[in-house]
Each structure stands twice: as structure tokens, then as C-alpha cells.
Amino acid sequence: DAKTTQPTSMDCAEGRAANLPCNHSTISGNEYVYWYRQIHSQGPQYIIHGLKNNETNEMASLIITEDRKSSTLILPHATLRDTAVYYCIVLEAAGFQKLVFGTGTRLLVSP
């Protein structure tokens, strides 16, 4: 069972920031928060991950609350190509773990 909850869908205007929330209230101390996205008919793509500090890379920023029970993925300037389903999952740092994707958030970026 997925250990995260996300809104089913969100809309965003092109060029604006897209803020995608995720609740993971049962996260344990050694679990990281990972974000993936899946563009229609393609395989999932890794975006970013973090443990407790905020993280930024060339694709996005990840803000994790101090209690680590929720996080927000930020796409600072959304483009039409960012239209996808975004999945938030929790994984331990090392070793094999089966991926469990929830339903994710379907983000629609409009002109």
C-alpha cells in the first residue's frame, strides 16, 4: 500500500510555479522522500529526493516540513512539457525496495 497521499489533479498556467503537495505522515527516520513523474505513455522519470533538508536540482525544488510528515515539489516555471502524473513515494536509503506508486497527482499545465 502506498504510504503517501496526494491530490488527484492540479492545474497550472504556463510560466507559473507549480506546487505539488504530498502527505507522508507515517514516514520513518531512515526513509527518504522521492518524486517521480510519468509523462503519458513513457516510463517514470526520477525528479528529486530528500531526507529532511530542502533540496534543489535543475528540474525542481523539494521542501520538506520540519516534522517530515509532508513535502512540496516545486516546479518554478512550469512548461507545457511538465504536464504529467507526479508520484511522491518514500524509500529507505539503501537496499532493494519494491516501488509502490500511489495514484499520484495529474498536473495539467495550460497556455
Partner 1 sequence: DVKVTQSSRYLVKRTGEKVFLECVQDMDHENMFWYRQDPGLGLRLIYFSYDVKMKEKGDIPEGYSVSREKKERFSLILESASTNQTSMYLCASLNGDSLYGYTFGSGTRLTVV
Of residues 28 and 45, the one with the C-beta less far from partner 1: 45
Of residues 97 and 110, the one with the C-beta less far from partner 1: 97
Task: For the chain, give the secondary structure using H, E and C.
Answer: CCCCECCCEEEEECCCCEEEEEECCCCCCCEEEEEEEECCCCCCEEEEEECCCCEECCCCEEEECCCCCEEEEEECCCCHHHCEEEEEEEEECCCCCCCCCCCCEEEEEEC
Of residues 13 and 93, the one with the C-beta less far from partner 1: 93
Least distance to partner 1 from the beta carbon of 13, Å?
A: 28
Least distance to partner 1 from the beta carbon of 86, Å?
A: 14
Least distance to partner 1 from the beta carbon of 91, Å?
A: 7
Question: Which residues contribute to the site for partner 1 (CB under 8 A)?
Answer: 2, 34, 36, 41-46, 49, 91-103
Phi, psi torsion values for 7, nearest 5 degrees = -65, 150
Of residues 3 and 14, the one with the C-beta less far from partner 1: 3
The amino acid present at 52, given as its one-letter code, is K
Least distance to partner 1 from the beta carbon of 111, Å?
A: 26
